[in-house]
Chain A
Amino acid sequence: MKKIDFDALIKEARNTPSLPEARARELFTEFEARLAAKKIRPKIAPAALFAGLGMTGVLLGLLAVFIFHPFGQAVKGTEVVVRANVLPPEKLKVGNTYVFRQTSKSEPVKEVALTFGEATVVKLESRSEKRDFWTLQNGVIAVDNRNAVYKNRIQIGPYVFDEIGTAYVLSKTNDSARLSVAAGLVRVSNVESARVEEIAPGANWMGRVSENGIKTDLSPKPDLAARLASWRQGAEFSWVGPADLLLVKKGQCLRVDLRTGEKKSEFRLEIPTQIRTIRFSDEALAVATHSDFLYFADRNGETTSVRVGSQSAENIFWFGKRLAFVNAEGKISIYGPSHELEKSFTVLTGSLWEGVLVSDRFLVLPDTSARLVVVDLERASVVKELPLEEPAAGRLERKASFVEVPLPGKKIAIEDKNIF
């Protein structure tokens, strides 16, 4: 019979990953916003109140409130905190002037063009219990969804789709998205006109979304929607064929036909280390891990691995049946249809941020030395180098006819005509 050391085993089990301080600070910002959204104030316990003030103090306080309260006058300059993803929670009063302030600089509010600084509310139109439309002094409309904390957002052209409550956005491609709503609402805002374009209907709604609007063409069974919802959190997902969805979570893969609600297959990816990123192609998955290996898996879960050395988990691109992997040192490795290494070459001084495919063969990558490098993956060669003012400060994003490049403090657009 094998033996274990109980003491050591328990010590290991105590070793739960902790929360980094930076994340704790972010959460506190979110916490403040939630407090404001729910209008939570500490419930003053009578004992504590009386202990601190005494009866005389309380009476004097009440008298002061009675004398100095503005009773309906405009509350000029009251601060309204706007967190990145939650709009001002207070029910603003028409005629009042408020100072709109944003708490987080790292996550700017994008879903509506909300003025920051002092603004007067000139119109308040309440359309439902959960949504209010405010018109501010400068004509900007703000939308408030109390208690909504948006966790997923996709933007297609001028449209922004946000989860609200228990809605789930499932998948996104370059020019369209498919989304599933297990329950609740998806808010669709038009960023350019700064107004709410459409609120998708409630439970068990499934549709495809493109720049032309929403087209509903799939309607999963309610129980499937519930199961997908339970799977959604922390799962990677991809569409396979016209209506099959493949979800991968903790190595467990589930393929379902969303039209019939039937489970088509279920299998496990045998990958020994923790998964960082999964990239899907039509026939295979590429899985970056916390080890030196990159794994390829077919749709049945059969895996092969290749050693890629240092990690750059986000810079993985399928182009047709081949795959390009860019490591942190800027080396690009191209793997063929059978996952064999076809070629590797170094074109960057280093790679910190995710690049973007601008066609089925051209890859734009930000370099650590203030330039963008356009690589022709078919020919494994550099097509062009575009100088930048400063090194990119974030991942590149593909937009309709340009690539958006985040630089420190601003974003610039590189148009396609300058790339090809």
Chain B
Amino acid sequence: MPSADTRERDENWIRAFQGGDGSVFQKLYLAYLPPLFSFIKRHLYCDDAAAEDLCQDIMMTVYEKLPGFLFKAKFSTYLYTIALNRLRNVKRKKTALSLDEKIPGDGEASFLDGVVEPGTPHQGMFGRQVHELLKTGMETLPEKEREVFALKEFDELTFEEISEITGQSLRNIQYLKEKAQKRLKEYFEQNGILWEEVRA
């Protein structure tokens, strides 16, 4: 997540933009497009082209609304809030438009597909099973829990940031995350895999 320096840098850019220097938006765009792209890929399980399109839409909204940015939150929080709202809309539309007969594997690339680097602990046949299990396990979670878990674990946001983005209380966020983790653990156990926590 952005450091204090990054926050100051972003705020300087935004002030310049609000002051009429439109060219400064390119700096913001280039700084935040890669993380936004990864964020979308992780949450929507879409291919690169779809993620890029969505990034452009989100950046378009940011461009339009940035003059009203009030510096109460970090720019990254502001960006992820817009992105998350857009993702929810896209998911809602996708559900409404889904075809009766679904083609297996249709367009639903997972953020877990092809991302395991050689030498990581969960590679090989068992590794693929485990990643597939994490993917299907995530899909079994209720939407709010899945969202919070992904924001915390995959996007590495703090509880405070997730609270700002989702508009839910800090306590509720922590509860949802714990709940999601518990459900995932149970899901893995049902599938014969013991979830070992080695983190502090």
CB interface residues, B 69-103, toward A, < 8 Å: 70, 99, 101, 103
Docked CA distance A251–B104 (Å): 11
User: A223 to chain B: which residues have CB within 8 Å?
Assistant: 99
Given B26, B99, B101, B115, which contacts A16 in the complex, CB threshold below 8 Å? B115
B66 on the interface (CB 8 Å rule)? yes
Once the chains bind, are B42 and A231 in contact (CB under 8 Å)? no
A16-B42, A227-B103 known; A47 vs B68 contact (CB < 8 Å): yes
Shortest distance in angstroms between B111's beta carbon and chain A's nearest beta carbon? 5
A409 on the interface (CB 8 Å rule)? no
Q: What is the size category of the interface that chain B forms with chain A?
A: 35 or more
A401 on the interface (CB 8 Å rule)? no
Residue interface bits B141-172, CB-to-A below 8 A is 1, else 0: 00000000000011010000000000000000
A38 on the interface (CB 8 Å rule)? yes
Shortest distance in angstroms between B41's beta carbon and chain A's nearest beta carbon? 5
Shortest distance in angstroms between B54's beta carbon and chain A's nearest beta carbon? 12
A17 on the interface (CB 8 Å rule)? yes
Given B18, B41, B55, which contacts A52 in the complex, CB threshold below 8 Å? B18
Q: What is the size category of the interface that chain A forms with chain B?
A: 35 or more
A193 on the interface (CB 8 Å rule)? no
User: A349 to chain B: which residues have CB within 8 Å?
Assistant: none
Docked CA distance A27–B105 (Å): 28
A13-B112, A13-B154, A252-B105 known; A4 vs B196 contact (CB < 8 Å): yes
Docked CA distance A28–B63 (Å): 12
User: B64 to chain A: which residues have CB within 8 Å?
Assistant: 40-43
B120 on the interface (CB 8 Å rule)? yes
Which stretch (A29-37, A119-127, A136-144, A351-359) binds chain B? Answer: A29-37
A9 on the interface (CB 8 Å rule)? yes
Closest to A254 in B: B103
Once the chains bind, are B103 and A252 in contact (CB under 8 Å)? yes
User: A231 to chain B: which residues have CB within 8 Å?
Assistant: 103, 106-107
Docked CA distance A124–B130 (Å): 62
User: A265 to chain B: which residues have CB within 8 Å?
Assistant: none
A4-B193, A47-B70 known; A14 vs B103 contact (CB < 8 Å): no
Docked CA distance A39–B135 (Å): 40
User: A34 to chain B: which residues have CB within 8 Å?
Assistant: 56, 60
A2-B193, A231-B103 known; A8 vs B126 contact (CB < 8 Å): no
A3 on the interface (CB 8 Å rule)? yes
Given B26, B106, B107, B134, which contacts A9 in the complex, CB threshold below 8 Å? B134
User: A41 to chain B: which residues have CB within 8 Å?
Assistant: 64
The CB with the most chain B CB atoms within 10 A, among A1, A15, A227, is that of A15
A21 on the interface (CB 8 Å rule)? yes
Once the chains bind, are B115 and A2 in contact (CB under 8 Å)? no
Given B109, B111, B117, which contacts A250 in the complex, CB threshold below 8 Å? B109
Once the chains bind, are B52 and A27 in contact (CB under 8 Å)? yes
B4 on the interface (CB 8 Å rule)? no
Once the chains bind, are A45 and B67 in contact (CB under 8 Å)? yes
Shortest distance in angstroms between A365's beta carbon and chain B's nearest beta carbon? 30
B197 on the interface (CB 8 Å rule)? yes
Once the chains bind, are A4 and B195 in contact (CB under 8 Å)? yes
A44-B67, A48-B67 known; A13 vs B49 contact (CB < 8 Å): no
Given A9, A25, A47, A252, which contacts B130 in the complex, CB threshold below 8 Å? A9
Docked CA distance A6–B195 (Å): 6
Once the chains bind, are A249 and B115 in contact (CB under 8 Å)? no
User: B50 to chain A: which residues have CB within 8 Å?
Assistant: 233
Shortest distance in angstroms between B71's beta carbon and chain A's nearest beta carbon? 10
Once the chains bind, are A6 and B111 in contact (CB under 8 Å)? no
Shortest distance in angstroms between B53's beta carbon and chain A's nearest beta carbon? 9
Given B52, B116, B194, which contacts A1 in the complex, CB threshold below 8 Å? B194
Once the chains bind, are B68 and A48 in contact (CB under 8 Å)? yes
CB interface residues, B 108-137, toward A, < 8 Å: 109, 111-112, 114-117, 120-122, 126, 130-131, 134
Shortest distance in angstroms between B49's beta carbon and chain A's nearest beta carbon? 6
Given B41, B65, B198, which contacts A5 in the complex, CB threshold below 8 Å? B198
Given B37, B106, B192, which contacts A249 in the complex, CB threshold below 8 Å? B106
Docked CA distance A11–B154 (Å): 8
Once the chains bind, are B38 and A16 in contact (CB under 8 Å)? yes
Closest to B31 in A: A24
Once the chains bind, are A6 and B99 in contact (CB under 8 Å)? no
Shortest distance in angstroms between B126's beta carbon and chain A's nearest beta carbon? 7
A42-B66, A47-B70 known; A5 vs B103 contact (CB < 8 Å): no
Docked CA distance A52–B199 (Å): 49
Shortest distance in angstroms between A291's beta carbon and chain B's nearest beta carbon? 12
A9-B122, A42-B17, A48-B18 known; A17 vs B41 contact (CB < 8 Å): yes
Once the chains bind, are A233 and B34 in contact (CB under 8 Å)? no
A12-B115, A14-B156 known; A2 vs B29 contact (CB < 8 Å): no
Residue interface bits A48-67, CB-to-B below 8 A is 1, else 0: 11001000000000000000
Residues of B within 8 A of A (CB): 17-19, 22, 26, 29-30, 33-34, 37-38, 41-42, 47, 49-50, 52, 55-56, 59-60, 63-68, 70, 99, 101, 103-107, 109, 111-112, 114-117, 120-122, 126, 130-131, 134, 153-154, 156, 188-189, 192-199
Contacts A4-B196, A17-B41, A42-B64 aside, 19 further interface pairs with beta carbons under 8 A come to A1-B189, A12-B120, A13-B153, A13-B154, A16-B42, A16-B115, A18-B34, A19-B34, A19-B38, A24-B30, A24-B33, A35-B60, A42-B63, A43-B64, A47-B68, A47-B70, A49-B67, A230-B103, A233-B107
